[in-house]
Chain A
Amino acid sequence: MDLIHEGDDPVRVGPASKTARRYLVKLEVGGLPGVIASLIGKDPPDFRYWLVSGEVPAFVRFEGAMYLNGPIWRLSFAPVEWPK
């Protein structure tokens, strides 16, 4: 897999503006891609991560398929709520 810094997206955390670095994780079946991909009958999915940049990067989102040929899903931190 190749892990590539694809670009930067502006995001907000409350009132604060931040920059989320967008990373592309590109899966490739190496060697003879056409032969091997056809043998397993699948196209490996690409997926993306967003991390707010800084001295300690912070995960904010994952987007991609969680299995070969699966749907695109988005993973992020869940808000914690108090019962009303």
Chain B
Amino acid sequence: MSMVTWAFVLALAWTSCLEAAPVKVRLLEGSVRGFLVLRTTDGEAIAHGELLQRPQGGLIESRLTLNFVDGSLRDERATFSQKDVFRLEAYRLVQRGPSFPTSDISFDRRSGRFQARTQDKPGDEIKEASGQLEMPYDLYNGMALVLLKNLPSSSPVFARFAVFTPNRASSRWT
């Protein structure tokens, strides 16, 4: 198993004792489209994009795409169900170009597998990994905004977020 896989497996294992309840649906999601601009903290516009969300086969597919002036791309897709609680079913994140270390990450509940191509920083070797992934019910990559719209009053909510990164640690795994 590659080092990328081990980094991910370990990060999820340690959070398993803190498993939270999935977030209840208070506001149903539907068809949405909006045009976005990404700026630096100085106000310079560096990317324009679109949020497109639509029902697909009983699920909601949400896609946030950003096209950068330097040619970079960030394309994030989260597909989720919303029957009583929100549940992430599939996720894909593509980041490439001068503004990013390259990432192409995907996982889905149905297959129980993930694939990852990641780069620590631009110019580094791109590392690949794939394998089995049992997605916990409180895993919510790409869904922070949906969760925030559904927070119960002002109570904080704990959720999990999968991170994939090439592992730079030594090989002392047990």
Residues of A within 8 A of B (CB): 1-5, 23, 25, 27, 29-32, 36, 38-42, 44, 47, 49, 51, 56-57, 59, 62, 66-68, 70-78, 80
Contacts and interface: CB of A to CB of B under 8 A. Distances in A.
A40 B151 CA distance: 31
B168 A5 contact: no
10 tightest Cβ-Cβ pairs between the two chains A and B? A31-B14, A30-B15, A78-B37, A39-B169, A5-B154, A4-B156, A78-B35, A3-B157, A1-B161, A41-B168
Contact of B145 (A36, A44, A49, A76): A49
Nearest to A29: B11
A51 B37 CA distance: 16
Interface stretch (B40-48, B55-63, B125-133): B40-48
A44 B164 CA distance: 12
Q: Is the interface of B mostly helix, strand, loop or mixed?
A: mixed
Interface string B5-48: 00100110111011000000001000000111111110000101
A49 B148 contact: yes
Most buried by A among B100, B156, B159: B156
Nearest to B151: A3
Contact of A3 (B46, B156, B169): B156
Contacts of A36: 10-11, 14
Given A31-B14, A51-B149, A80 B165 contact: no
A38 B154 CA distance: 33
Given A3-B144, A78-B36, 9 more contacts: A3-B156, A23-B148, A23-B151, A27-B163, A41-B168, A41-B169, A49-B148, A73-B38, A74-B38
Given A25-B144, A77-B34, A77-B35, A2 B168 contact: no
B92 interface: no
Given A36-B11, A74-B39, A59 B145 contact: yes
Nearest to A64: B144
Contacts of B167: 39-40
